Amino acid sequence: MTQQRKRILVIAPHADDEVLGCGGYLLHQKKEGADITIVVGTIGGIAPHQDKETRLAEFNAVCDSLGAQRTVLFFGKDALMDTIPSYDIISQLDKIVDAFRPDEIFINYRSHHQDHMKMYDCALASCRGREGYSPKTVVLYEYPFIISKMESVGGGNMFHDITDCIDEKVGLFMLYGSQVRKAPSPLNEDGIRQLAKLRGMECGTEYAEKFYIQKMVR
């Protein structure tokens, strides 16, 4: 009997959050043959660095590198996701979850950004159990700007060793050229490495990603 490929769903407010939060894990899962789908809340906005066509091209390049299927829920709503009714977001996520039936779901930490708050709340709502299906694993991934507030996150900790792919993860983020920022912003190569180094120190590896378990069935 052929073993079914693991199905992984990543839900992100913006294109680049998925790489920052779990890019290393996704790189490993791609090599193991997992079926990956990435859903982004919005692409494009009024700021110059949120040009829709540029951001969409970057997102497609990242998904192609990961061999991932992709969906964008709304265009032109960067920093405006809180103006969209929750029903409109949850109903779209429900359709994706029902069709894909992922084994693992990765959701952004809520943070203090309005788009992150909205996607976190709606994604958790869509992770509810259904008749005949319930995801086995639901975890939150980190976002560099809110690591000082992680004490408010419930659930157990899970680490993933990315020592052998930290360079690949950095390269993946660099595909989001419009989002790279100079220090002291963490949205650059040095910021990615420093956070991964810190998480590696916590779990005994050189580089790691940290996740917050909301549900895990083994």
Distances (CA, A) of 169 to 7, 73, 191: 21, 25, 12
| Confidence (pLDDT) at 149 | 59
67 vs 55: CA distance, rounded Å: 18
Residues of the chain where predicted confidence (pLDDT) is lower than 50 = none
Tell whether 25 is covered by a domain.
yes
Structure tokens at 133: 């299906």
| Confidence (pLDDT) at 150 | 57
Structure tokens at 121: 């709340």
Tell whether 47 is covered by a domain.
yes
The DSSP output letter for 32 is: T
124 vs 93: CA distance, rounded Å: 10
Q: How many domains does the chain have?
A: 1
Q: How far is CA 108 from the centre of its chain?
A: 6
| Confidence (pLDDT) at 203 | 97
| Confidence (pLDDT) at 17 | 97
Tell whether 138 is covered by a domain.
yes
Which of 32, 168, 23, 195 has the alpha carbon at shortest distance from 106? 23
Non-local CB neighbours of 65 within 8 Å, separated by 6+ positions: 172, 175
Non-local CB neighbours of 155 within 8 Å, separated by 6+ positions: 139, 140, 212, 213, 214
Non-local CB neighbours of 182 within 8 Å, separated by 6+ positions: 188
55 vs 111: CA distance, rounded Å: 22
Residue keyed to tokens 């996704």: 26
Which of 108, 109, 53 has the alpha carbon at shortest distance from 76? 53
Residue keyed to tokens 């990435």: 38
pLDDT digits (tens, 9 = 90+) for 133-169: 999 999 999 988 765 555 667 778 999 999 999 999 9
| Confidence (pLDDT) at 110 | 85
Tell whether 2 is covered by a domain.
no
Tell whether 32 is covered by a domain.
yes
Tell whether 1 is covered by a domain.
no
pTM for this predicted structure: 0.95
**Largest pairwise CA distance in the chain:** 52
Which 3 state secondary structure label does DSSP give 100?
A: helix
Non-local CB neighbours of 212 within 8 Å, separated by 6+ positions: 109, 139, 140, 150, 153, 154, 155, 156, 157, 158
Structure tokens at 57: 């091209």
Tell whether 103 is covered by a domain.
yes
Looking at residue 35, which CATH number applies to its domain? 3.40.50.10320
Domain of residue 149, residue span: 7-216
Tell whether 168 is covered by a domain.
yes
| Confidence (pLDDT) at 47 | 85
| Confidence (pLDDT) at 118 | 97
